[in-house]
């Protein structure tokens, strides 16, 4: 009888310790600018991707695009960590070859045009550590506007005649960046 009570007490103690351990784990709240990804092909079932970008999606929250992405200044292309571009096959941007690999994307926003920068920098937070000597390719593209306003910074890819266009939208601002297959 004492053996059964001892085993029962020990089992209760172990269960209690395990429950304390599970309750001790702290999980962070949802980020105010949640991380997202866009790719081409866009189907999540398609494993043969050409290009993918992982970025955080800042929200306007009654602010203007150019209050958050200041014209003429290097911007992290989203929020939090700088956006990370994965190129799964050699591509071209503005006549410059981009070899298969992982890169950081920055932008220099402007009201009429945006400069998109592909950099060899990796694992950087924001654009505070941007270094122009690590630029792999740059392209300056015109902006356009759309009557539909997007609350969250958004990126989507679309097939083009020569490759893939990366479309970004935020508020009513729209930018298309052409990547060509090498």
Are 152 and 161 in contact by the 8 Å Cβ rule? The answer is: no
Q: Give the per-residue pLDDT at 95.
A: 95
Residue 125 DSSP code? B
Residue 87 counted as domain residue: yes
Cα distance between residue 36 and residue 84, in whole Å: 11
pLDDT in tens, the chain (182 residues): 555 554 555 555 555 555 555 557 888 888 888 889 999 988 667 778 899 999 999 999 999 999 999 999 999 999 898 999 999 999 999 999 999 999 999 999 999 999 999 999 998 888 888 999 999 999 999 999 999 999 999 999 999 999 999 999 999 999 999 999 88
Counting the structural domains of the chain, the total is 1
Q: Which domain holds residue 158?
A: 33-181
Are 118 and 90 in contact by the 8 Å Cβ rule? The answer is: no
Residue 15 counted as domain residue: no
Q: Give the per-residue pLDDT at 29.
A: 83
Q: Give the per-residue pLDDT at 30.
A: 82
Residue 140 counted as domain residue: yes
Cα distance between residue 18 and residue 136, in whole Å: 51
Residue 13 counted as domain residue: no
């Amino acid at each position: 009888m004492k053996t059964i009570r001892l085993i029962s007490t020990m089992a209760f103690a172990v269960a209690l310790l395990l429950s304390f351990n599970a309750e001790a784990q702290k999980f962070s709240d949802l980020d105010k600018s949640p991380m997202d990804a866009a790719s081409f092909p866009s189907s999540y079932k398609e494993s043969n991707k050409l290009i993918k970008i992982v970025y955080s999606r800042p929200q306007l929250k009654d602010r203007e695009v150019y209050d958050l992405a200041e014209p003429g200044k290097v911007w992290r292309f989203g929020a939090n960590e700088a956006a990370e571009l994965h190129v799964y096959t050699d591509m071209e941007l503005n006549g410059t070859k981009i070899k298969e690999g992982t890169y950081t994307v920055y932008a220099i926003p402007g009201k009429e045009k945006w400069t998109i920068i592909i950099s060899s920098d990796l694992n950087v937070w924001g654009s505070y550590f941007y270094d122009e000597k690590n630029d792999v390719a740059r392209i300056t593209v015109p902006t356009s506007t759309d009557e539909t306003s997007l609350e969250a910074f958004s990126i989507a890819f679309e097939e083009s005649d020569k490759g893939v266009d990366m479309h970004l939208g935020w508020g009513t601002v729209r930018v298309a960046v052409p990547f060509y297959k090498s």
